[in-house]
């Protein structure tokens, strides 16, 4: 729902019966200003995800974050993260990934993904499928 997010109350009734929210964050956009906010793209994404995690309309849904990291490593060398996230103080790519993971974990469940690693994508989609299957089986009272 990119670009339509802030009006979610207008469209949420169209997705009745959904079981999960898949939330994609492009980490390489950490230095971009969002369209309608004074914060940066990542802060805006965290705020949106926080709304999804803590708003009654989304209660009971599984929430899963995928981090797109395709251009992220290259960009870090040109635009250091600490210029955009003053509370970050790490030195490595892994510490930056952990920083973002922890920011999203503070509001819910997060996972990394990379378009280039098809095995990882297959694993992630399998995990999402498994989560959705468990939700449906619990709903049908076939498992507890």
| pLDDT less than 50: residues of the chain | 1-2, 110
pLDDT at 1: 47
**Looking at residue 37, what is its pLDDT?**
55
Q: Give me the pLDDT at residue 96, please.
A: 92
pLDDT for res 42: 86
Residue 23 lies in a domain: yes
Is 136 among the domain residues?
Answer: no
- With beta carbons less than 8 A apart as the criterion, state whether 65 and 23 touch: yes
Q: Mind giving me the DSSP string for 65-101? A: EEEE-TTHHHHHHHS-GGGT-TT----SHHHHHHHHH
For residue 138, the model assigns a pLDDT of: 85
Which pLDDT score, from 0 to 100, does residue 141 have? 84
> What pLDDT shows up at residue 100?
92
Per-residue pLDDT, 95: 92
CATH of the domain at 36: 3.40.50.300
Q: How many domains does the chain have?
A: 1
Residue 103, domain member (yes or no): yes
* Structural domain boundaries enclosing 82: 5-115
């Amino acid at each position: 729902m990119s670009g339509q997010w802030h009006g979610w109350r207008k469209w949420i009734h169209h997705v009745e019966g959904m079981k999960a929210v898949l939330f994609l964050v492009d980490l390489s956009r950490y230095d971009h200003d969002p369209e309608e906010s004074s914060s940066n793209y990542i802060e805006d994404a965290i705020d949106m995800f926080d709304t999804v995690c803590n708003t009654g309309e989304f209660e009971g849904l599984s929430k899963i974050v995928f981090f797109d990291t395709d251009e992220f490593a290259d960009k870090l060398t040109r635009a250091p993260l600490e210029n955009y996230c003053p509370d970050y103080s790490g030195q490595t790519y892994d510490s930056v990934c952990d920083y973002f993971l922890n920011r999203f974990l503070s509001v819910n469940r997060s996972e990394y993904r990379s378009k280039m690693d098809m095995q990882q994508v297959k694993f992630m989609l399998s995990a999402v499928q498994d989560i959705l299957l468990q939700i449906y089986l619990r709903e049908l009272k076939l498992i507890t």
